[in-house]
């Protein structure tokens, strides 16, 4: 079966790690026609937006995209390309599986949890302004429609993947109306899934409990800001952002991406670790119905990670982007 996928290489190390993913998928024999387009800062200079309409329209046509990291200016400059994609394509669910890799030494073993993050609103709605000089206001938006949608996604995912428990993360003790609405909507949805254990935890306590014992969590459902912060914390439990995949999913479209930054300091030096984008590609292959290929690719990544000569330096190895990619292909 043939597929069409939009490829957004990104910037910094993005082109190197996405090229690695394309090479492995081609070695698998999965037939994909790649439609390569650019997004980010250089595109912003030409079009006035980091994600122009022709990029969005191509993703709408292909319905699936694989994306490398894109640099987002801090405190100034253009709106995040990631936020633009999520809001424009209604990619309301961010899915971040976090699982220990036996080949990578980390502080914890046997971590196996999933962060489900609402992607389109909360404090990331981008509604902020200066009231007067020296006083800024940012508005947190929570809607019943968006919360119900992400709660249904989380419970359906848990049921489909045979997950046993959902933890809803909130700060309703302080933000009683906004986070209170989040809890109210999730409680309505949970009634349809009596077989799944349900609990609610305050976000600061969740951060503490994750560090104390991550095994107590299974699927974690939360809003945009909490999800952004805690998903990175969870990645740290298993070795860092370089080994964790990510997917942004909506009713019609799906964008799969590595969740780490663009690392411009090592761009073009053949030092980038492609593991995260390779595992994101595994999620993409499953989404495309290529489950056998996905299992082969995931197993090959694990075998390559077990070779210190192939692993990149950030994982304690002596390898390069190229040598690791070659090791994955050889392991197929």
Choosing from 11, 62, 122, 124, which is the catalytic residue? 124
Q: What does the angle CA 153 – CA 64 – CA 141 come to, to the nearest 5 degrees? A: 45
d(CA 154, CA 115): 9
> Which residues on neighbouring strands pair with residue 319, listed in sequence order?
312
The single residue of 11, 92, 171, 179 carrying the catalytic annotation is: 171
Residue 120 Cα distances to 89, 91, 143, 235, 272, angstroms? 10, 7, 10, 22, 30
Coil, strand or helix at 110: coil
The structure tokens listed for 191 are 């009634």
Q: H helices within 161-274, ranges in order?
A: 178-190, 203-212, 224-237
Residue 36: strand, helix, or coil: strand
Catalytic residue, candidates 110, 204, 213, 252: 204
d(Cα 149, Cα 329) in Å, to the nearest integer? Answer: 39
210 contacts 242 by C-beta, under 8 angstroms: no
Alpha carbon 31 to its chain's center: 24
Q: Which residue has the tokens 């409680």?
A: 187
Q: Verify whether residue 110 is a known catalytic residue.
A: no
Per the annotation, the verdict on 204 as an active-site residue is yes
User: Residue 175: helix, strand or coil by DSSP?
Assistant: coil
Active site residue 218: no
Q: Which of 11, 19, 62, 228 is catalytic?
A: 228
Catalytic machinery residues: 124, 171, 204, 228
């Amino acid at each position: 079966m043939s597929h069409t996928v939009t490829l957004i290489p990104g910037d910094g190390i993005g082109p190197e790690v996405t090229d690695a993913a394309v090479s492995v998928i081609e070695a698998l024999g999965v037939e994909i026609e790649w439609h390569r387009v650019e997004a980010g800062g250089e595109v912003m200079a030409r079009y006035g937006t980091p994600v122009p309409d022709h990029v969005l329209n191509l993703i709408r046509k292909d319905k699936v995209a694989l994306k490398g990291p894109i640099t987002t200016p801090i405190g100034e400059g253009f709106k995040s390309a990631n936020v633009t994609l999520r809001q424009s394509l209604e990619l309301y669910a961010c899915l971040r599986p976090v699982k220990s890799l036996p080949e990578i030494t980390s502080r914890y073993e046997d971590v196996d949890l999933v962060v489900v993050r609402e992607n389109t609103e909360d404090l990331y709605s981008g509604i902020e302004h200066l009231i007067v000089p020296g006083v800024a206001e940012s508005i947190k938006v929570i809607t019943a429609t968006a919360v119900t949608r992400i709660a249904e996604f989380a419970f359906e995912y848990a049921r489909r993947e045979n997950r046993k428990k959902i933890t809803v993360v909130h700060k309703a003790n302080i933000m009683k109306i906004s986070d209170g609405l989040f809890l109210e909507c999730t409680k309505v949805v949970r009634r349809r899934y009596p077989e799944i254990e349900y609990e609610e935890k305050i976000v600061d306590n969740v951060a503490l409990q994750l560090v104390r014992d991550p095994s107590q969590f299974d699927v974690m459902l939360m809003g945009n800001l909490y999800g952004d912060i805690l998903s990175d914390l969870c990645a740290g439990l298993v070795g860092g952002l370089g080994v964790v995949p990510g997917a942004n999913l909506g009713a019609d479209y799906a964008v799969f991406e590595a969740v780490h930054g663009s690392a411009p300091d090592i761009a073009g030096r053949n030092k980038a670790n492609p593991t995260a984008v390779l595992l994101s590609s595994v999620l993409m292959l499953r989404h495309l119905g290529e489950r056998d290929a996905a299992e082969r690719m995931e197993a090959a990544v694990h075998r390559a990670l077990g070779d210190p000569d192939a692993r990149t330096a950030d994982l304690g190895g002596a390898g390069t982007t190229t040598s690791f990619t070659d090791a994955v292909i050889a392991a197929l």
